[in-house]
């Protein structure tokens, strides 16, 4: 399957279990891999045979900057659902939601969840 990679998209959201996360918000980073057949797009040079990266960015942004969720697992799942709703050519996607600064005492780079969904 052909893939479009969208790497290190950065947004500000209010997801988390703790009240201060919901009130103060924090940065979230999203990686998305969009799987579809790009053969026709490559041959025709026609955007209608692919997925517009800017539109996909806006779909992801709307979820991350939208209604707060307790879990980044739920954020990732909602991103996948909205991508499928927006793009009929999308056959599968992998979504990774990274939380660089969760309220955890200790030294770490980030925490993240990654899901893969296929169109049913």
d(CA 56, CA 34): 9
* Residues 6+ away with beta carbon under 8 Å from 106: none
CATH code of the domain containing 35:
3.30.1130.10
Place of tokens 């045979």: 49
Which residues carry out catalysis? 99
Q: pTM of the entire structure?
A: 0.96
Domain extent, residue 93, equals: 2-118
Contact 75, 59 (CB under 8 A): no
Distance from first CA to last CA of the chain, Å, rounded?
Answer: 16
pLDDT in tens, the chain (120 residues): 999 999 999 999 999 999 999 999 999 999 999 999 999 999 999 999 999 999 999 999 999 999 999 999 999 999 999 999 999 999 999 999 999 988 888 989 999 999 999 998
Structural domain count of the chain: 1
């Amino acid at each position: 399957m052909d893939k479009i990679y969208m790497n290190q998209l950065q947004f500000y959201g209010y997801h988390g279990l703790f009240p201060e996360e919901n009130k103060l918000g924090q940065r979230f980073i999203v990686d998305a891999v969009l799987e579809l057949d790009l053969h026709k797009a490559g041959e025709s040079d026609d955007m209608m045979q692919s997925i517009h990266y800017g539109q996909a960015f806006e779909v992801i942004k709307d979820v991350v900057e939208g209604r707060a969720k307790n879990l980044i697992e739920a954020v990732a799942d909602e991103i996948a659902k909205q991508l499928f709703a927006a793009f009929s050519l999308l056959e599968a996607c992998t979504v990774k939601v990274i939380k660089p600064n969760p309220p955890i005492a200790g030294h770490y780079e980030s925490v993240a969840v990654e899901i893969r969904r296929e169109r049913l």
